[in-house]
Amino acid sequence: QESGQAPEDVRHVVREFFPFDPLPASQAAASPRLTASPSILSPSLRAKNTLSTAVPPIFISFRFGEAHAEARALQAALHVRGVEAFVCDVPAGESIALEVIRSLRGCALAVVLGTRSYGARTASTFSSYYELRFILERHKPFFLVKMCDVFEEDYAHFHLCDDISYHSWTGLGAGPDAMSTVVDLIAARLATV
């Protein structure tokens, strides 16, 4: 195995769940980890979750540099209400491949925190671009939290246009009432899937 190349089993999983743009060996992760949080699932969500009950029903997709604090705050607020959410929190340099794939594929609802550069195609194989592409291509139910006036990235701007239902939220600076409303809306959307 070449240095910096993911084991074949990880590349196979990546190809299976992300069939577009094969994982280049130069970008493959060398040490995959799989640590999904336990989830609280209703029987109807458990039936829809094809992987296991260890996959949280909500996957929060976001850009680290723009909405990491908001993603963590939403995760905590949803937890208080009895709903678990996956937020990728892998330290720099460690593999996120299996965690992201398993959680995104198995979630009942994806929450997109749409910031200005959301959907940017970066050097990482698991950027918000690939998450959004997977959500759209697999017709994954999603809830858009629009955190900007205009998406700078063409892919997000095209696919998350104004005719898609969304809720505007400017982030943690908007105060606890605004965040509580976002959490209420996400929980209500989850109940419909």
pLDDT at 51 > cutoff 70 = no
- Please write the tens of the pLDDT for every residue from 90-135: 766 667 788 888 999 999 999 999 999 999 998 877 789 999 999 9
How confident is the prediction for the chain on average, in pLDDT? 77
| Mean pLDDT within 42-47 | 42
| Mean pLDDT within 142-149 | 96
pLDDT band at 166 (very low <50, low <70, confident <90, very high): very high
Q: Annotate 101-132 with b (16+ C-beta within 10 A) or e (fewer).
A: bbbbbbbbbbbbbbbbbbbbeeeebbbbbbbb
Sign (positive or negative) of CA dihedral 106, 38, 56, 113: negative
- 132, 144 in Cβ contact below 8 A? no
